[in-house]
């Protein structure tokens, strides 16, 4: 399951919807971020909030790189 979460404060996220595929979750998060200019993240299997299963973050319709992401090329 891939779940879309909305940022409502510093390191505080509220789960909004879950989807069977990553593409559906990303599309939902992207649409919401374009409409509200908010920050959304897609989580994989967020049953255990103690583990970081973040797939990506979306702001203003674009994916945001995490600090540990490295681009190749």
| Tens of pLDDT, residues 1-59 | 899 999 998 889 999 999 999 999 999 999 999 999 889 999 987 555 544 577 777 87
Q: How far is 44 from 16, CA to CA, in rounded Å?
A: 13
Supply the pTM of this predicted model. 0.72
Q: How far is 69 from 35, CA to CA, in rounded Å?
A: 26
């Amino acid at each position: 399951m891939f779940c879309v979460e909305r940022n409502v404060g510093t390191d505080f996220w509220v789960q909004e919807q879950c989807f069977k595929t990553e593409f559906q979750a990303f599309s939902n998060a992207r649409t919401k971020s374009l409409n509200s200019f908010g920050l959304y993240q897609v989580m994989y299997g967020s049953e255990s909030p103690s583990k970081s299963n973040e797939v990506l973050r979306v702001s203003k319709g674009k994916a945001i790189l995490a600090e540990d992401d490295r681009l190749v090329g």
